[in-house]
Amino acid sequence: MSIKVIQDRPCSSSLGNYLWRDPPQEKKWADCVHCGMCLESCPTYEQTGEEQQSPRGRVYLIKAVAEGNLLVDEDFADPVFSCLDCRACTTACPVDIDVGGLIEEARGQVRQAIPLKGWKGAVNKLFLRGVFPYSNRLNSLGRLLRFYQHSGLQKVVRKTKIMNMLPQHLTEMESVMPDVKRSVRKKYKNDPVIKARGETKQEVALLTGCVMDVFFSDINEATINVLIRNGNDVSIPKNQTCCGALHVHAGDREMGRKLAKQNITAFENAEKVIVNAAGCGCMMQEYAELFRDEPEWKERAKVFEEKVVDISKYLHDTGYDKPNAVLNTRITYHDACHLAHGQGVRREPREILLDIPGVEMVHMPNADTCCGSAGIYNITNPEMANAVLKSKMENVPEDVEMISMGNPGCMLQMAMGVKKYGRNQKIVHTVQLLDWAYQKEGESNHGNYKN
């Protein structure tokens, strides 16, 4: 099917000083009375105490532009792009103001009015438009990273301290980069369906993702293992692509729509679309928001949204074998923002972890506060991201061996926190723990489980 993309363009009827397609919608701010219930939930307000860095302050600014009282300029862009889009404010709001939706729409207006230039524009174009949407280019990136890690080049780079020439936050990210393995999409490219072990209960389709399949293909592998163990045939649609979350967060709604259309088409015949990355799942459950002036695609997006489910919720709702193997480990759980606040999934992953014999769960205070990852926020806003991470690490119990979560960005960010603050916890995805328990059952004393 050919996909027609409507280019972003000036609106025929502007909304105040919003001149481009998809302006922030009045219905999303209309009920805000600036009560302040959102303030304590906001990471940037916690760090700065500044009204414009709070949810209600941002809503006020977005509304002021719509009323023609402010311009879409650099002063407006700063509070809009300094938001982590963590959605905690909507959870705290008594009338569920969709601040995240407003922020994303406002960013789209900013990027039309003030396009990125210089090195930031070049990097944005290279990765968001030139790499992430293309599986073959992602595979090439993965091969380069594997060569870097396993050829001895990484050791040379670290020993000679060449990385110190880069900004500190990039050096820190390189220091916790996971061991890059073979892409799951590449591994199973000739398998239309990965058959369930035993009786087939349902067939599901897996979103392999972009970052997930490059940096965390082992989590994709664990997801497949757990699904087929529990009676699911698993398909990996070949034409799927990046979910578009990073693009929409960056204000590139045009590319977000293009990727959304490709995924809606790729997963058209799937009954369920399983996602193991919180940010991807949240984005895909909000695809219809991108198509307010394309009725046909909006209806298709709504049908698609109903299929998308996080792996932990899917397992919890459809049933799964409780493992018999004992892992004997103390764990705490971090709520990824787009899983807890975006999708409302909190209880399910915790119950899965508690069903693994020997796992002792230790409560993390403020478990649903942001870690500072927020897509690529820790690259674009490193100072604020580090401040938010510091607050997060202060809440992580010291007497645990593992920190479990359900989002790759959080995993990288929390790994940096563990290293930076002298901790020794292992960062794991919830589905990995369940997979390790299953493997330990079947492999006795020589599984992939490492305590």
CATH code of 388's domain: 3.40.50
Instruction: Domain count for the chain, please give it.
Output: 3
pLDDT (mean) for 136-145: 88
Pair 183, 307 in one domain: yes
CA distance 76 to 64: 10
pLDDT (mean) for 20-33: 93
What pLDDT, on the 0 to 100 scale, is given for residue 177? 85
Residue 70 has pLDDT above 70, yes or no: yes
The confidence band for 450, taking pLDDT boundaries of 50, 70 and 90, is very low
On average, the pLDDT of the chain sits at 91
What is the token pair recorded at 426? 């292992």
Task: For the chain, give the percent of residues with pLDDT over 70.
Answer: 95
* 408 belongs to a structural domain: yes
* 405 belongs to a structural domain: yes
Pair 309, 184 in one domain: yes
Question: Of 315, 334, 363, which residue constitutes the final position of a domain?
Answer: 315
CA distance 210 to 195: 24
* 402 belongs to a structural domain: yes
Selection from 362, 128, 352, 146 nearest residue 247 by Cα: 128
Sequence-ordered list of residues with C-beta below 8 angstroms from that of 338, at least 6 positions apart, any chain? 86, 87, 278, 279, 281, 282, 283, 407
Do residues 83 and 103 lie in contact, with contact meaning Cβ atoms separated by under 8 Å? Answer: yes
Pair 389, 345 in one domain: yes
pLDDT digits (tens, 9 = 90+) for 305-347: 999 999 999 999 999 999 999 999 999 999 999 999 999 999 9
Residue 223 has pLDDT above 90, yes or no: yes
What pLDDT, on the 0 to 100 scale, is given for residue 14? 66
Pair 325, 303 in one domain: no
Question: Which 8-state DSSP code applies to residue 236?
Answer: -
CA distance 224 to 234: 7
CA distance 226 to 430: 11
Residue 5 has pLDDT above 80, yes or no: no
What pLDDT, on the 0 to 100 scale, is given for residue 128? 86
Of 90 and 126, the one with more pLDDT: 90
Pair 351, 406 in one domain: yes
Residue 263 has pLDDT above 70, yes or no: yes
What pLDDT, on the 0 to 100 scale, is given for residue 405? 98
What pLDDT, on the 0 to 100 scale, is given for residue 175? 83
Pair 90, 201 in one domain: no
Query: Which helix (DSSP H) or strand (DSSP E) does residue 434 occupy?
Result: helix 430-443
Pair 438, 345 in one domain: yes
Please give the single-letter amino acid code of residue 289: E
DSSP structure string for 166-231: S-HHHHHHHHT-------HHHHTTT-S-BPPSSS--EEEEE---SHHHHH-HHHHHHHHHHHHHTT
What pLDDT, on the 0 to 100 scale, is given for residue 446? 45
pLDDT digits (tens, 9 = 90+) for 195-219: 999 899 999 999 999 989 999 999 9
* 168 belongs to a structural domain: no
CA distance 50 to 61: 13
**What is the CB-side half-sphere exposure of residue 254 using CA atoms within 13 A?**
12
pLDDT (mean) for 44-61: 97
pLDDT digits (tens, 9 = 90+) for 145-166: 889 888 988 888 888 877 777 7
CA distance 380 to 376: 6
Overall residue count recorded for the chain in this entry: 451
What pLDDT, on the 0 to 100 scale, is given for residue 448? 45
The confidence band for 30, taking pLDDT boundaries of 50, 70 and 90, is very high
Q: How many helices (H) does the chain have, and how many strands (E)? A: 23, 10
Of 38 and 177, the one with more pLDDT: 38
Pair 362, 273 in one domain: no
Q: At what angle do helices 430-443 and 347-354 cross, to 10 degrees?
A: 20
Residue 435 has pLDDT above 60, yes or no: yes
Pair 76, 101 in one domain: yes
Pair 244, 344 in one domain: no
The confidence band for 375, taking pLDDT boundaries of 50, 70 and 90, is confident
Do residues 154 and 148 lie in contact, with contact meaning Cβ atoms separated by under 8 Å? Answer: yes
Question: Of 315, 334, 352, which residue constitutes the final position of a domain?
Answer: 315
DSSP structure string for 53-98: GSHHHHHHHHHHHHTTSS-SSHHHHHHHHH-----HHHHH-TT---
Q: Residue 194, Cα to own-chain centre: how many angstroms?
A: 25
CA distance 348 to 224: 18
pLDDT (mean) for 247-276: 97
Do residues 436 and 327 lie in contact, with contact meaning Cβ atoms separated by under 8 Å? Answer: yes
* 265 belongs to a structural domain: yes
pTM over 0.85: yes
Question: Of 97, 113, 129, which residue constitutes the final position of a domain?
Answer: 113
CA distance 91 to 94: 8
pLDDT (mean) for 296-300: 97
What pLDDT, on the 0 to 100 scale, is given for residue 269? 94
Pair 373, 413 in one domain: yes
* 136 belongs to a structural domain: no
Bridge partners (DSSP) listed for residue 136: none
CA distance 202 to 351: 22
* 121 belongs to a structural domain: no
Task: Please give the backbone phi and psi of residue 432, each rounded to the nearest 5 degrees, phi first.
Answer: -65, -40
What pLDDT, on the 0 to 100 scale, is given for residue 211? 86
What pLDDT, on the 0 to 100 scale, is given for residue 444? 53
What is the token pair recorded at 49? 């105490």
pLDDT (mean) for 361-370: 97
Angle at 445 between CA 442 and CA 451, to 5 degrees: 105
* 194 belongs to a structural domain: yes
Its domain, for residue 402, covers: 321-443
The confidence band for 172, taking pLDDT boundaries of 50, 70 and 90, is confident
pLDDT digits (tens, 9 = 90+) for 92-112: 999 999 999 999 999 999 999
Pair 206, 243 in one domain: yes
